[in-house]
Structure 1
Amino acid sequence: MRDLNFFLPYIENNKESKKTNVILTTLTAIVLMYVIGTTVWYFSNKIILGGNIKKLQSEINDINLQNQYKKANVTIKKYTLLNKYNDEVTNTLKSISSKEIGSSNIMKTIFSTLPQEVSVVSILIDLSTVQLQCTSSNRISIAELQRNLLQIDNITNVEVSGLSADSTKKSYGFLVKCTLKGVDVK
């Protein structure tokens, strides 16, 4: 014979209800701990960051730091200005170095062609010409200078102008204009 228990359905439901209650309680506790933990973390972070902000603001408002900041800005402005000057000087130096106009070689060559009776009073050099203001004791030396300058490779044209005689010193003053090679003549 079989023993029939009429209360069995009520007892198993109670067991399942206890399992469900334990699971629900555990999940509620986990969620509650998460919410409380994140809230505590948020507020503690807020308090710590607020303290750090106040500390940094007091450091920023310090007079010594403000003075150092102003000095640094002035130094930075000077540095950028000097860098601009340096760049311009470097560009100018490169352009002068790339041209043979102001080089010492051409000046040595020109001075090596001077006859003994000719002396140079002033020199003017630009991108296309070299002008020499000279004096000479005779006209033959002037012609010799012109011929010598025409033999230089870097010079294409030599003009002698402004010839004037000074009877008291027994000398001639004149201007020599040399056109350099590779330059368009206008």
Structure 2
Amino acid sequence: MKDLNFFEPYQGKKKEKTNAKIYIYGAMGIVGVLIVITLTINTVSIIMLNRSIEDYNKKLSNSQTQQELKEAEDINKQITTLKQYDSALTDVAVSVKERDNVSDTLLNDISSTVPSEVSFKNLDIENNTVSIKGVSTNRTAVAELKHNLSELSNMQDVYVNSIDNSSAVEGEYSFDIKCVLKDVE
């Protein structure tokens, strides 16, 4: 015959409570173990980093390292000074390049204005002034040269200083023309 146990449903609930407690305590144990492991790892890491810091401080306080550090600082100061000089020289070079009045274009422009009866003896370019000394077979060619130079876009002012027919060769006129170039901006 089979025995009837009327308390059986209550015994299952007690067993469920103990199972839930086991799960809770197990999870708390796992979390506790993880905390201890993390604490151990971090403590070991901090100790190793402190040792490393001490080693670096010893190396930095070494007299040879101090001397090398001072040399490096001196070199850095020199590099900074040289960079400032380089910057200033670059600015000067750019300014000079922008003010460069003598160029192939200018010389080609002047050459294109010369009539066939004119030949140059001397061509001087100083600052913004071009001085041309030469000879011509007639005065009209000198006037034509002056007119052609005045038509150039980079000429501000062109004037004839002198025309003289007392040169060594008869029938030739020596002349002197001055041209003022426009400012380059």
Give yes or no for the alignment of 1:124 onto 2:126.
yes
2:66 paired residue number: 63
**Structure 2 Cα separation of the partners of residues 148 and 56 of structure 1:** 84
**Structure 2 Cα separation of the partners of residues 144 and 93 of structure 1:** 38
2:20 paired residue number: 20
1:168 paired residue number: none
CA apart distance, 1:84 = 0.7
**Which ranges of structure 2 fall in alignment gaps of 5 or more residues?**
112-117, 163-175
**Structure 2 Cα separation of the partners of residues 40 and 179 of structure 1:** 87
Which aligned pairs between 1:146-185 and structure 2 lie closer than 5 A? 147=143, 150=146, 153=149, 154=152, 155=155, 156-160=157-161, 177-180=178-181, 183=182
Mean Cα deviation higher: 24-33 or 3-12:
3-12
Give yes or no for the alignment of 1:87 onto 2:83.
no
Q: Match for 1:21: what amino acid?
A: K
Equivalenced residue count is 155
TM-score (norm 2): 0.57
Which secondary structure does the structure 1 equivalent of 2:94 belong to? helix
Per-residue Cα deviation, 1:8-40 (whole angstroms, up to 9, x for no partner)? 356434433432332122112111112112211
Contact 2:146 2:159 in 1 (8 A): yes
CA apart distance, 1:150 = 1.4
**Structure 2 Cα separation of the partners of residues 144 and 53 of structure 1:** 92
Which secondary structure does the structure 2 equivalent of 1:130 belong to? strand
Q: Match for 1:35: what amino acid?
A: I
Which secondary structure does the structure 2 equivalent of 1:177 belong to? strand
Q: Match for 2:35: what amino acid?
A: V
**Structure 2 Cα separation of the partners of residues 44 and 12 of structure 1:** 48
Q: 1:78/1:41 Cα in 2 relative to 1: closer, same or farther (>3 Å)? A: same
**Which ranges of structure 1 fall in alignment gaps of 5 or more residues?**
135-139, 162-174
- Superposition CA RMSD, Å: 4.3
1:41 paired residue number: 41
Contact 1:123 1:131 in 2 (8 A): yes
Contact 2:102 2:125 in 1 (8 A): no
1:165 paired residue number: none
CA apart distance, 1:93 = 4.7
**Structure 1 Cα separation of the partners of residues 141 and 52 of structure 2:** 84
* % identical equivalent positions: 20
Contact 1:131 1:177 in 2 (8 A): yes
Which secondary structure does the structure 2 equivalent of 1:42 belong to? helix
